[in-house]
Amino acid sequence: MAHIAQYRWISTLCSLTVSLVATAPAAETQQLIDTPFMELIRDSVVHRDLGLARTQVDSLRKITDQFDPQLFLTRNRREDERRKQVHDLVIRVRPRLKPILNTAQLKRLKQIELQCQGPRALLRPDVQSRMLLAKPQVEAIAAEVTSTGNAVRDAWKQVQEKGRPRAAVQKHIDGIRSAESRKILRHLNGNQRSRWKSLIGRPAALSAFGQGLKYKAPEFAEGMTWINSSPVTMKSLRGKVVILHFYAFG
């Protein structure tokens, strides 16, 4: 089966008398964060952390192979559209893991996912309910995330419009994102901070994630005009060495 490699992607009691944010606003704020779920379930480093057997890994691969063509189509979408499409995809894929992973493995996978998302994960509806966040807290956290997004976009403009060195801008952006995490956690009370530490569990090897990930290549679009060749399919190329030559107009 043909696959393509992708570059590194650069990541949960009850009855207290607090005003919890409504479901609809929670769903909206969730669109401010990316989910690494589709990457984590295929990452060999995550597989080792979860202690997966070969049969479990193979079962996960069958799931990712099935949904990779849809994931591929999100690449060129506008940022907000891409996030929504990926979230919708994860909603479909996540239940399929229950017959494959045991309870402990599912719990650990969620911990790793939260670690990758960082404190931004507090905007997830499921995390908000577990953390017992009040509506003003959620709004404040969303404001921090929005502010960071604006700052990062402004920083990249320095590269595009003023020619600032990319390495220097990236270092500045890393500082902005690190500061965001500290600012978000300041909106939590002591009990909530302890609950957050419990939700994310023991530290995972985040720096080792995302290397050499493989994705199933989508089928060629129908109706294409082929030059110097009759139409081919991904199936017909299986087991062959293929050179891809592509270009873009801009």
- Span 137-154, average pLDDT: 92
Confidence of residue 48 (pLDDT cuts 50, 70, 90): very high
Q: How far, in whole angstroms, is CA 250 from its chain's centroid?
A: 29
Element housing 61 (H / E): helix 54-72
Residue 242 lies in a domain: no
CA 184/CA 1 separation, integer angstroms: 43
Is the Cβ–Cβ distance between 199 and 111 less than 8 Å? yes
Residue 144 resides in a domain: yes
Q: Is residue 25 part of a domain?
A: yes
Domain assignment of residue 220, yes or no: yes
Q: Please give the model's pTM, rounded to 2 decimal places.
A: 0.77
- Of the candidates 231, 230, 219, the one whose C-alpha atom is nearest the C-alpha of residue 68 is 219
Predicted pLDDT of residue 127 = 94
Q: With 80 as the cut, is the pLDDT of residue 194 above it?
A: yes
> What pLDDT, on the 0 to 100 scale, is given for residue 31?
59
Q: What is the mean pLDDT of the chain?
A: 83
The answer to whether residue 243 is domain-embedded is no
Nearest CA to 209 among 68, 60, 39? 39
Each residue of 66-77: pLDDT tens digit? 999 889 888 888
Number of structural domains (the chain) is 1
Task: Report the SS3 class of residue 4.
Answer: strand
Query: Are 43 and 213 spatial neighbours (Cβ–Cβ below 8 Å)?
Result: yes
Distance in Å from the first CA to the final CA of the chain: 33
pLDDT in tens, 67-113: 998 898 888 888 888 888 999 999 999 999 999 999 999 999 999 99
6 burial level (CB within 10 Å; 0-12, 13-18, 19+):
middle
Here the tokens at position 92 are 């479909």
